[in-house]
């Protein structure tokens, strides 16, 4: 594995705030690299290290003895979800010595489910995503992004396919198995492959259970594991002020294009084009999610689909307005491709409408901004700011 190329990240944390914070995100999104570069004078504890893990798991109170008396800089506890009980000790040290902690992990939900102390407002919460087109800058290449995704290690990898395969295998071994989230790793692996065919689609638990040969309740639990570890998201249907009958099931997305492409099996009977549409949709979803969070735009993300199948890929609703995005891989847009956005506009005339596509021309048709996807992703912060046309 090569060293990561360092990119300037959009995540901003007030370093003079002196308030402890959590930083969550899937493994490999660059949390540790970023923290070490920003908080270079910090005291760092890696809970993946076997000896340290065993010592603090047996006696969380030992953490106090590892901190020099009077220490005033940041204290980093990396992978805090490995010892949730340690948060009680962190709480005590904040109250007693006014220490300031940075606590990284792969899931806030996992910690909450275990009923542990999340510091009761004494710590802020941030999230790290894969790289964005804005962060990649001149290194952003749509073709490469759709093939390998945006994990920070990818740009420096000579064999990104092998890196992604190792990532999936390591995650299964270290995160799923070691944390005891499931005892049947073979069943979970089979589920992941089957779930990859639902990428960007309305989720049908019963169908996935049937195709994978796994009972329905276990499949439901497996999806919860993916959400807990921030490996996937379920996108709900937008139903505010609905004028039509809407479907109720969410859509499913793995968190990164490269992970989805790695999990989805391809053989001589599979056309590469079958994965291109879901890949582009996934890339747009992870970019919308990241930009929304990093810039604190406060949108909630949805999709829109009526009971008779009229759909818009992404709806963003929040204090800054109502935005609708349709995603097409094609380099040409037909009138039929605009029907979903037009139907949404009939129900929500206040919405801003965008079609992101694989072509090169920027056009405006029936109040719809038709933008080349590569241009749109680079300018997404301005689009979501919603202060005018791009």
Q: pTM for the full model? A: 0.91
Give helix then strand counts, H and E, for the chain.
Answer: 15, 13
The Cα–Cα gap between 275 and 259 comes to 12
What is the domain range of residue 323? 286-385
Contacts of 168 (CB under 8 A, 6+ apart): 192, 259, 262, 263
Q: Indicate whether 108 belongs to any domain.
A: yes
Summary mean pLDDT of the chain = 89
Residue 390 has pLDDT above 60, yes or no: no
Domain limit, last residue, from 66, 98, 127: 127
- Cα distances from 153 to residues 96, 180, 271, in angstroms, run 39, 27, 28
Q: Cα–Cα distances in Å, from 247 out to 243, 254, 306, 337?
A: 13, 21, 6, 21
Least confident of 142-146, 274-278, 351-355, 373-377: 274-278
Q: Identify the pLDDT of residue 1.
A: 42
As beta bridge partners, residue 312 has 304
Mean pLDDT of the 68-79 span: 93
pLDDT at 4 over 80: no
Instruction: State both tokens at 259.
Output: 């992970």
Domain tally, the chain? 3
**Quick count: other Cβ atoms within 10 Å of Cβ 338?**
19
Same domain, 87 and 150: no
3 is a domain residue: no
Residue 270 located in a structural domain: no
CATH number at residue 35: 3.40.50.300
| 10 found inside a domain | no
Is 78 inside a domain boundary?
yes
Instruction: Note whether 110 and 176 are same-domain residues.
Output: no
Last residue of a domain, one of 102, 127, 152: 127
How far is the C-alpha of 193 from the C-alpha of 15, rounded, in Å?
A: 41
User: What is the average per-residue pLDDT within 316-341?
Assistant: 95
Sequence-distant (≥ 6) Cβ neighbours of residue 247 within 8 angstroms = 202, 237, 305, 306, 307
Identify whether 152 is part of a domain.
yes
Residues 379 and 295 in one domain: yes
Same domain, 144 and 122: no
86 alpha carbon, distance to own chain's centre: 26
Rounded to an integer, the average pLDDT of 184-192 is 85
Q: How many CA atoms lie within 13 A of 158 on its CB side?
A: 2
Q: What is the pLDDT of residue 103?
A: 93
* pLDDT tens digits for range 227-245: 888 899 999 999 998 778 8
For residue 241 the two structure tokens come to 């002020």
pLDDT digits (tens, 9 = 90+) for 257-294: 999 999 998 765 566 666 788 999 999 999 999 999 99
């Amino acid at each position: 594995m090569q060293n990561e190329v360092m990119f300037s990240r959009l995540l901003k944390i007030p370093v003079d705030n002196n308030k402890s914070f959590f930083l969550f995100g899937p493994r490999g999104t660059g949390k540790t690299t970023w923290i070490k570069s920003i908080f270079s004078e910090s005291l760092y504890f890696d809970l993946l290290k076997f000896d340290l893990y065993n010592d603090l798991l047996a006696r969380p109170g030992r953490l106090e003895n590892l901190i020099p008396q009077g220490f005033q800089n940041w204290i980093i506890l990396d992978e805090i979800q490995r010892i949730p009980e340690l948060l009680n000790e962190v709480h005590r040290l904040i109250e007693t010595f006014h220490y300031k902690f940075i606590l990284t992990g792969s899931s806030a939900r996992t910690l909450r489910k275990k009923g542990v102390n999340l510091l009761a407002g004494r710590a802020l919460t941030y999230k790290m995503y894969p790289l964005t087109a804005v962060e990649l800058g001149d290194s952003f290449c749509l073709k490469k992004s759709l093939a390998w995704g945006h994990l920070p290690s990818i740009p420096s990898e000579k064999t990104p396919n092998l890196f992604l395969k190792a990532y999936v295998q390591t995650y299964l071994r270290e995160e799923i198995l070691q944390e005891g989230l499931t005892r049947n790793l073979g069943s979970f692996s089979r589920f992941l492959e089957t779930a990859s065919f639902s990428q960007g689609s309305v989720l049908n638990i019963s169908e996935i259970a049937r195709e994978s040969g796994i009972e329905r309740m276990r499949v439901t639990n497996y999806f919860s594991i993916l959400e807990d570890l921030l490996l996937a998201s379920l996108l709900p249907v937008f139903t505010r002020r609905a004028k039509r009958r809407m479907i109720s099931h969410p859509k499913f997305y793995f968190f990164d294009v490269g992970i989805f492409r790695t999990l989805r099996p391809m053989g001589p009977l599979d056309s590469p084009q079958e994965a291109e549409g879901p890949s582009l949709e996934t890339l747009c979803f992870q970019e919308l999610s990241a930009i929304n969070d990093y810039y604190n735009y406060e949108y909630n993300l949805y999709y829109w689909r009526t009971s008779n199948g009229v759909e818009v890929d992404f709806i963003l609703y929040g204090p800054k307005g109502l935005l609708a995005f349709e995603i097409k891989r094609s380099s040409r847009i037909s009138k039929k491709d605009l029907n979903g956005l037009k139907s949404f506009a009939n129900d929500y005339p206040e919405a801003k409408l965008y079609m992101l596509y694989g072509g090169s021309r920027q056009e405006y048709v029936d109040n719809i901004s038709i933008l080349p996807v590569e241009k749109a992703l680079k300018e997404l912060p301005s689009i979501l700011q919603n202060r005018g046309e791009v």
